[in-house]
Amino acid sequence: MDVITRAKEVGVEKMICVGTNLEDSQEAIEIANKFEGVYASVGIHPEGTCDDWEKFEELISKPKVVAIGECGLDYKVGLPGQEGVFQKQIGIAKKLNLPLIIHCRDAQEDMSKIDLTANRGVFHCFAGGINIPDNFYVSFAGNVTFKNAPNLREVAKAIPLEKLLLETDSPLLAPEPLRGSKNSPKNVKIIASLLSELKGVPVEELEKITSENAARLFGI
């Protein structure tokens, strides 16, 4: 796949293809199985539902599945009943000792009330407003580069390097100066460059630390 080839050409060695429902979780697994350095997650997004949890757990058992998610709370566009769907995935992740990839939009207050102390994972596309449990990381996507996102850059500055991950959220949120175009994994280099400036560390050091963080969390 050209997307993966282009990412590897710029030094992106490992990627996670993230599921948001049963169908695209299956597709993520199929992609991961075809390419070295590509892994998958299985999840039900707040905009989706699941009527076959047996199938969900069957998918999780597949090789190269390294996380549960994207799951969480979204009070802007999420569906009714999303809290129960999220709690179900929290329980499965706890049972199987798998990390969570958590989505949170306009739901910071309720998210902070959920007990995640027995879980581990990452708050993806982090926007702040949540007390991060000790066993969780935060990840920043292309929107941290947007010209109208100075507050988000302040949030990024406050996150310790040992808690930091990088992502693109492809095909959404292409970073500046590519905003508005289709995003791809290779653009994580742009995000790394900006965060290295915010943190005042060489980009090579930031890339090394975030790669080690990802390896520690996802076992890749």
pLDDT, average across residues 125-148: 96
| Residue 111 CB-density burial (10 A; 0-12 exposed, 13-18 middle, 19+ buried) | buried
> What would the pLDDT profile of 198-219 be if each residue is shown by its tens digit?
999 999 999 999 999 999 999 9
Query: What is the b/e burial string over 158-181, where b = at least 16 CB atoms within 10 angstroms of the residue's CB?
Result: ebeeebbbbbbbbeebbbeeeeee
Whether residue 39 has pLDDT greater than 90: yes
Whether residue 1 has pLDDT greater than 80: no
If DSSP codes are grouped into helix, strand and coil, which group holds residue 161? Answer: helix
Question: What average pLDDT is seen over the chain?
Answer: 97
| Residue 100 CB-density burial (10 A; 0-12 exposed, 13-18 middle, 19+ buried) | buried
Q: Give start and end residues of each alpha helix (H) in 68-165.
A: 82-96, 108-113, 150-158
Measured over all CA atoms, what is the biggest interatomic distance in the chain, rounded to whole angstroms? Answer: 47
Whether residue 160 has pLDDT greater than 80: yes
Q: Which domains does the chain have, with CATH numbers?
A: 2-218 (3.20.20.140)
> What would the pLDDT profile of 40-61 be if each residue is shown by its tens digit?
999 999 999 999 999 999 999 9
**Alpha-carbon distance values, 189 to 40, 140, 157 (Å):** 21, 12, 18
> What would the pLDDT profile of 179-205 be if each residue is shown by its tens digit?
999 999 999 999 999 999 999 999 999
